[in-house]
């Protein structure tokens, strides 16, 4: 027995220290590879690792977050779109109003120009230019001098052969701009026209041109008034009161080559001219703005009014901040209520589980209140 026991002990020690063996189909022993320990599993975060008592408050909280903040965001988007729609409607009305006012004011300028061009003193000077007829026509032109019209630069009287007949102020030089197109338009009714905007000595100006007709209705000369495209300070203040201090107004040629903000020359706003004439949204100086353009009838000009979005969205942002504060309060209350509800649900389940464990251990008389 001792020998057999010793051999078995030796065999056990040997198999414990050496590789495990097995027999093949012929009875030969094969070496078994050493068993490798399983790698340790890392604990990953998962709801399945939590008990049901912890899962319920988390699920309730996630559900509350989705419902509360989802409804808040939907409400904010609705308020935001309503504010932008109101802004677009106001932009449309004001742009059309300004375009109509500009269209109505320019005929007044052209009417005065045409009346002065066909004054008898002008006809007398053109028939017989002399020192006797010169004072009469000068008095006519002086009504458009910078002292009488702050926006006026100078007035030029041109013969039909495109030679300069008279200029006011007398020490001024004629503008080198090509007025061939304007002169052609003045050859037909209504014999007056507003030219495109031009940049002259860093100033944005335009020419109001009227034809001088003889008794037979034939054009014999042209009267050209060069005027600044910037209104007086009082007019700019009226525009600011009408549009708001943060709005901007731009006038430019329909070809898009010259633009002004009524003070200086500026690049063309990124608005498609003469296309859909719909509200356009773009960024200016890092701020989102909306803009709308309208052509000015009877002129080669285009008007663009630009509104910043920030004042329009201020109310929507205040609404969002208030709703977020309310949402956080509701979320806290919901989490507290969810935690209490979870305890009420899981407490009987825990007691029932403990009772089932007790019954499985042989206690058949364990009562549980659920």
More confident: 37 or 72: 72
The alpha carbon of 42 is separated from its chain's Cα centroid by a whole number of angstroms, namely: 50
- Identify the pLDDT of residue 320: 84
- Identify the pLDDT of residue 350: 66
147, part of any domain: yes
Question: What is the span of the domain harbouring residue 245?
Answer: 79-314
Residue 289 has pLDDT above 70, yes or no: yes
238, part of any domain: yes
Cα–Cα distance measured from residue 346 to residue 357, given in angstroms and rounded to the nearest whole number: 16
228, part of any domain: yes
pLDDT in tens, 334-365: 778 777 777 777 666 666 666 666 666 665 55
- Confidence band (pLDDT; 50, 70, 90) for 368? low
Residues contacting 38, CB < 8 A, separation 6+: none
pLDDT in tens, 127-155: 999 999 999 999 999 999 888 888 899 99
Q: Which CATH number fits the domain that encloses residue 139?
A: 3.30.450.20
pLDDT in tens, 321-337: 888 888 888 888 877 87
Which of the residue ranges 44-53, 203-212, 272-281 has the most confident prediction, judged by mean pLDDT? 203-212
Q: How far is CA 290 from CA 136, 262, 310, in A?
A: 52, 19, 10
306, part of any domain: yes
Residue 163 has pLDDT above 50, yes or no: yes
235, part of any domain: yes
- Identify the pLDDT of residue 238: 81
Cα–Cα distance measured from residue 231 to residue 222, given in angstroms and rounded to the nearest whole number: 25
Residue 366 has pLDDT above 70, yes or no: no
273, part of any domain: yes
Concatenating the DSSP letter of every residue in 80-136 gives: HHHHHHHHHHHHHHHHHHHHHHHHHHHHHHHHHHHHHHT-HHHHHHHHS-STTTHHH
**The total number of structural domains that make up the chain:** 1
| Average pLDDT value for the chain | 80
213, part of any domain: yes
348, part of any domain: no
């Amino acid at each position: 027995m001792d020998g057999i026991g010793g051999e078995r002990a030796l065999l056990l020690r040997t198999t414990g220290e050496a590789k495990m063996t097995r027999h093949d189909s012929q009875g030969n022993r094969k070496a078994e590879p050493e068993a490798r320990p399983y790698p340790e599993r890392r604990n990953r975060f998962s709801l399945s690792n939590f008990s049901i008592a912890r899962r319920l408050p988390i699920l309730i909280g996630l559900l509350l977050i989705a419902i509360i903040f989802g409804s808040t965001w939907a409400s904010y988007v609705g308020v935001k779109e309503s504010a932008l729609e109101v802004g677009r409607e106001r932009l449309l009305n004001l742009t059309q109003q300004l375009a109509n006012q500009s269209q109505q004011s320019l005929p007044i300028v052209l009417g005065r120009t045409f009346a002065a061009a066909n004054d008898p003193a002008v006809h007398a000077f053109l028939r017989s230019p002399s020192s006797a007829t010169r004072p009469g026509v000068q008095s006519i032109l002086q009504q458009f001098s910078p002292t009488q019209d702050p926006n006026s630069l100078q007035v030029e009287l041109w013969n039909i052969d495109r030679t300069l007949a008279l200029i006011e102020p007398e020490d001024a030089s004629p503008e080198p701009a090509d007025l061939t197109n304007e002169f052609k338009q003045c050859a037909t009714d209504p014999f007056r026209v507003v030219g495109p905007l031009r940049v002259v000595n860093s100033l944005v100006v335009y020419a109001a041109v009227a034809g001088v007709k003889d008794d037979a209705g034939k054009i014999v000369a042209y009267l050209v008034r060069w005027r600044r495209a910037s209104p007086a300070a009082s007019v700019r203040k009226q525009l600011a009161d009408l549009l708001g201090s943060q709005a901007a107004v731009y006038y430019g040629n329909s070809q898009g080559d010259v633009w002004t903000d009524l003070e200086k020359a500026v690049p063309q706003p990124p608005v498609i001219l003469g296309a859909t004439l719909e509200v356009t949204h773009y960024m200016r100086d890092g701020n989102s703005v909306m803009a709308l353009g309208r052509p000015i009838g009877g002129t080669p000009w285009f008007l663009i009014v630009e509104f910043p979005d920030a004042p329009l969205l201020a109310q929507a942002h205040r609404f969002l901040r208030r709703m977020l504060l309310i949402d956080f309060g509701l979320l806290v209350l919901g989490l507290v209520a969810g935690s209490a509800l979870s305890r009420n649900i899981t407490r009987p389940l825990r007691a029932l589980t403990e009772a089932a464990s007790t019954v499985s251990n042989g206690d058949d008389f364990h009562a549980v209140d659920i």
